[in-house]
């Protein structure tokens, strides 16, 4: 079994694969400070709840956009799970060539998503991750990571509303019954959700226009991706396991290389 971990700005998403089958998934908060022992105990406990023991784990791979947690996390994996994790970064074989101006500035999560989208759906493909930030990444038919767009995620936008405007409350992010809102909460929901839909459709249209790739396949993932993809026909596929699949694919590429 392979243990895969995506360390995002808000949450960590974890999965266990047996071959190509995703056997279990977990989520943990990223921002809570933890020691390597705390990570180790939490990870082994989570695995145990799914009937998975550490001796069943033969390898691990981690993609992270939060450097501060990596020392404790990798220490916990090494000491408690008993494997040395691969870390997504320079020197790791991915199958994707980054042709942007500064390849090292591309986040590990975006590389992983690009790998998964290209391997699973082919190219050219535009992969959209609705996470803490909403990212749009273009992979060409040849497997080149050619361009990326970064926008505030829905949660960042919602937090900005209620933290910066004294009379606006915290709300649940969901589609309201109508865009013609008549009270504060549905008004905020309408702006957030329909605003994100509008942004998504416009960016997809502009990427297709400027790249000349009218047949570009659009694949979405991320926690709030389903909410948006269900409301627009500009997204072809919603794949909730895209990032975890990308980690598994990269692990397999590097294991074969060895």
- Where in the sequence numbering do the catalytic residues fall? 109
R_g of the chain, CA atoms, integer Å: 19
Neighbours of 15 (CB within 10 A): 20
Is omega for the bond preceding 100 within 30 degrees of 0, making it cis? no
CA 103, CA 99: separation in Å to the nearest integer?
7
Nearest in space to 191 (alpha carbons), one of 201, 176, 204: 176
Residue 127's nearest CA partner among 100, 140, 230, 63 is 140
User: In this structure, which long-range contacts are made by residues 93-97, counting pairs with CB atoms below 8 Å and at least 24 apart in sequence?
Assistant: 93/250, 93/253, 93/254, 93/257, 94/250, 94/253, 95/119, 95/143, 95/249, 95/250, 95/253, 96/139, 96/143, 96/144, 96/145, 97/142, 97/143, 97/144, 97/145
């Amino acid at each position: 079994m392979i243990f895969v971990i995506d360390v995002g700005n808000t949450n960590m998403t974890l999965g266990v694969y047996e071959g190509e089958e995703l056997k279990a998934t977990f989520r943990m908060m990223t921002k809570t400070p933890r020691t390597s022992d705390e990570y180790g105990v939490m990870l082994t406990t989570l695995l145990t709840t799914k009937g998975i023991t550490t001796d069943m784990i033969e390898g691990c791979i981690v993609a992270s956009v939060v450097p501060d947690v990596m020392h404790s996390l990798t220490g916990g994996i090494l000491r408690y799970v008993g494997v040395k994790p691969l870390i997504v970064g320079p020197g790791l074989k991915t199958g994707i060539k980054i042709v942007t101006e500064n390849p090292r500035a591309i986040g590990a999560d975006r590389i992983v998503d690009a790998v998964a989208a290209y391997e699973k759906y082919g190219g050219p493909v535009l992969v959209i991750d609705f996470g803490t930030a909403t990212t749009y990444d273009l992979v060409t038919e040849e497997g080149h990571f050619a361009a990326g767009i970064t926008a505030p995620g829905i949660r960042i936008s919602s937090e900005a509303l209620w933290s910066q405007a004294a009379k606006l409350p915290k709300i649940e992010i969901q589609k309201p019954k109508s865009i013609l809102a008549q009270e504060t909460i549905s008004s905020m929901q309408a702006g957030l959700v329909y605003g994100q839909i509008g942004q998504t459709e416009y960016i997809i249209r502009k990427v297709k226009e400027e790249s000349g790739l009218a047949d570009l396949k659009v694949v979405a993932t991320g926690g709030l991706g389903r909410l948006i993809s269900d409301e627009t026909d500009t997204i072809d596929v919603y794949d909730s396991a895209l990032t975890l699949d990308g980690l598994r694919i990269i692990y397999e590429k590097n294991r074969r290389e060895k």
